[in-house]
Amino acid sequence: FGIVVWIAFAVLMFAIGSIAAGVIFSIVAVFLIVWLLLVKSRIEFAGICLSYASSVIDKNPSLLGICFGLLVGEIVYIALFVFALASVIDAGITGLVWPLIIFFYWALNVFENVMHVTVSGTVGTEYFSSGLNSNKSPARAALNRALTTSFGSICFGSLLVALIQTARTAVYSMQRSNNGILRCVALCMLNCLEAMIRFFNQYAFVHV
């Protein structure tokens, strides 16, 4: 449907004499067509994955409650952080600003990764142990593992990302610096490093 819309806009732009806009819409339509041809073979697999994910949620409705609870906890933590940061700044204790920022990023990543481990554990249990009789909810068991035996790994991986995010925030705060090129290079390196660590964490936390 999106491709049809872009083609229609391209035809409309050409019809009203806006050649430049018509060319832009046509290029976007061509890119979408090429993208569709490249991913066409994966659509069926994506549908199977989506169907299985829906079945896991249907069998484990408590998983939604757990994720919602973690989200609420994250929102409450953000509110407390804003209050603490404002209090520290008002008190003139500037030496605590950056430690607070580190803990802020750290806690947010911990919340995110606990959710990731819980969902991964639930899906893994349903896939590999669905035929076993167990009175314990797979979602609650996964959350228990995330907050106990796997919590150290989650905190460590989250800390690595938090340190990089804090460094990136420090670089962003140097907007008035004359070394614009060095700032751009530093941001690029930090973004690449964060992406690599997140990629590693994403698959490492599935196994913890």
Question: Which residues fall within 8 angstroms of residue 71, CB to CB, at 6 or more apart?
Answer: 111, 115
The helix (run of H) or strand (run of E) holding residue 109 is helix 97-129
| Residue 6 CA from chain centroid, whole number | 29
Please give the pLDDT value at position 184: 82
Tell me the average pLDDT across 23-39: 86
Residue 14 has pLDDT above 90, yes or no: no
Residue 36 has pLDDT above 90, yes or no: no
Residue 85 near residue 97 (C-beta atoms within 8 A): yes
Calculate the average pLDDT of the chain.
85
DSSP code per residue over 122-174: HHHHHHHHTTS--SS-HHHHHHHHHHTTTHHHHHHHHHHHHHHHHHHHHHHT-
Please give the pLDDT value at position 32: 86
Residue 80 near residue 65 (C-beta atoms within 8 A): no
Q: What is the pTM of this model?
A: 0.75
Phi, psi angle pair for 132, to nearest 5°: -85, 140
pLDDT tens digits, residue range 94-144? 788 889 999 999 999 999 999 999 998 888 888 777 666 565 788 898 999
pLDDT tens digits, residue range 131-179? 665 657 888 989 999 999 999 999 999 999 999 999 988 888 776 656 6
Please give the pLDDT value at position 38: 86
pLDDT tens digits, residue range 184-208? 888 888 888 888 888 888 888 887 6
The helix (run of H) or strand (run of E) holding residue 187 is helix 180-207
CA 115 – CA 66 distance, rounded (Å): 8
Type of residue found at 103: F
